[in-house]
Chains A and B, each alone.
Chain A
Amino acid sequence: MLWLLMGGIVALCLYMAWTIGANDVANSMGAPVGSGAITVRQAILIAAICEFAGAVLVGSDVTDTIRKGIVSPDALCRNPEVFCLGMASALFASAVWLHVATWLGMPVSTTHSIVGAVAGFGVVAAGIHSVNWGKMLEIVSSWFISPVAGLALGYVLFRFILRTVLTRAQPLAAAARIAPLMVFLTTLVVALATIYDGMKNLLKPGSVFAEWATGGRAILAAALVSLVAAVVSRRLLRYRARGEVGLPLPEQLRRVERLFVPLAVMAACSVSFAHGANDVANAVGPLAAIADILKTGTVKMRVAVPFWILALGGLGIVLGLATYGYTVMRTIGKGITEITPSRAVATGIATAATVLSCTRLGLPVSTSHCVVGAVLGVGLARGLGAVNQRVIRNIIGSWLATVPAAAGTTMLLFVLGHSLGVDLFLKQLMPAAP
């Protein structure tokens, strides 16, 4: 019986991750596909690898927040079965809401729906005080701050590319000089996010590297890795850009964009990695909570997120990509052909840096919204032909609609489950609390 229940919850979780792979990944990969830096097929391949890596390597902080940061397990420690039912309701409600919203053609975020659902469960199950409103405030303000940060970073990065490359008299030579720096930046963002906490998901807490790579030393190690990447790229680029000085400017600019293609691919990888770390990880948060309770019979504060759960999220994404993501990505890629590789690089690095910083802080944010912020930033730096400002309104609309809807559905499901005695039934399945 327990296994049947777990099977159902795993299936729900897989469905959530599937939705992300099918619909959401296309948003983070849209810019590089639209710029022609990568084909749809390559984007699928990159996403499959990098999303999985991001979920597994960096995803645990965000998973923890969903699992125990929003609703304090303290309030429910004597009724683990209620916590369990609540998390299952939250997962179910988010899945249903996402499905309905996609069917209605509304731009919704998995993140917002999960966060709303978990908060809704807290309110109905253990009263309004069981919700950690400080953390909620932090999360909700991060939904506002992260796109703005993406915008600022996108603006600064594109201005930098403009000043150091595109507006130069010899842009091609300038690009070859600057490109290694961009490689360094991209690698640094990803490497820092990955090893800053000593890769605690993969390595055992006591292992040599995990102990060694913390704080300053982790930063140093990340910088070193990035430096190596930059030096390698410098060698490769020098070969590619040799003897091209003196071409007419428009021709040079065209070649600069071609030179930016590998950088755009790298940036795409980092966005995909960040997306896996944040959006995928928070989809598996409720499952992590349920699995923990069903195993131990108690609601605990500190338990590492099991590797298999993060991997499950990664698997769901890959399935979503394989079954449906191709179609969505092709549609989006076709719709945004006006972007060029140099713009894709700026938006990519800005998005990855913003999202990975939030992930490290345990803040579940929407990668899509950060992408929108970064694109608007490049637009403000006069980098894009035409940018639709009205999208900002849609983003705010999606916050306003998703959170209450997911919270409400969760409350409904929870009350229904409670009146049917599902929580009491769960209690019998659990090992007795010590």
Chain B
Amino acid sequence: MSLIRELFGKSPFGPLVEHTKKVNECVKLVRPLLEACVREDWAEIHRLQDAVSKLEYEADVVKHEIRQHLPRRYFMPVSRGDLEQFLHCQDEIADAAQDFAVVLLIRSTKIHPELVEEFRAFLDQVVLVSETLTNAAQELESLAETSFGGAEAESVLKMISGLGEGEWKADRMQRKLSQHIYCLEKQLDPITIIFYEKMLGALSAIANSAENTGDMLRTMIVKG
């Protein structure tokens, strides 16, 4: 048995970036889902929901692999708690994307023509927040290379700094969209309104989790 061989554990940062990418692929399908819903193309929604579900499962597999490779006896450049929290938050983004797909799948909810543009704008803002996080999180390997310091850390912190404001914008758009929905409450049946709320909830969860993930990334950098 070689001491040197035993000394090196598997670095969690490569797999973390892999997880980031899987999660991002889930989020990328959110816009096509909404478009399919607007077109009332239920077969397409069915197909896309399958795809999201599959990607979410793959992200879960990566997550479990990372956790499995982090026994207590290893020490890492970042605290284990922060890393696990980061992974947990990032995984919630994929969960929320899947929730959105499921909401569209279980009931053929039509989007009211007056609401379509606002739905699109809100969704785009949510996806933008998530993309920002993805771009920052993809730098994890480079961050590990520089021991979470210096110019590389600065540039990642800069990327994350936009997340809070992006999430706040998404929140505001969600409130306005909600108000708009209730303005049309006479024309909409109650179950449709319930499902609109469910869609909004899932979408805002994506932005929320992305912001939380960014916070954990910041913690990992700043703590060092």
Contact = CB atoms under 8 A, between A and B. Distances in A.
A394 B4 contact: no
A31 B4 contact: yes
B164 interface: no
Given A162-B150, A336-B8, A385 B76 contact: yes
B13 A387 contact: no
A106 interface: yes
Q: For this complex, into which size category does the number of interface residues on chain A fall?
A: 35 or more
Contacts of A368: 3-4
B5 A332 contact: yes
A312 to B, nearest CB: 26
A253 B151 CA distance: 11
A235 interface: no
Interface stretch (A4-12, A45-53, A67-75, A376-384): A376-384
A385 B5 contact: no
B87 to A, nearest CB: 14
Interface stretch (A164-172, A177-185, A193-201): A164-172
A168 B150 contact: yes
A368 B2 CA distance: 9
A371 B147 contact: no
A331 interface: yes
Interface of B: 1-14, 69-70, 73-78, 139, 141-142, 144-153, 155, 224
A225 B130 CA distance: 56
B74 A27 contact: no
A302 interface: no
Contacts of B6: 107, 388, 390-391, 394
A427 B155 CA distance: 77
A350 to B, nearest CB: 14
A106 B74 contact: no
A385 B12 contact: yes
Given A167-B149, A388-B8, A27 B76 contact: no
A388 B4 contact: no
A391 B6 CA distance: 7
A405 interface: no
B142 A250 contact: yes
Contact of A105 (B1, B139, B148, B149): B1
A130 to B, nearest CB: 33
Most chain B beta-carbon neighbours within 10 Å: one of A34, A105, A257, A386 = A386
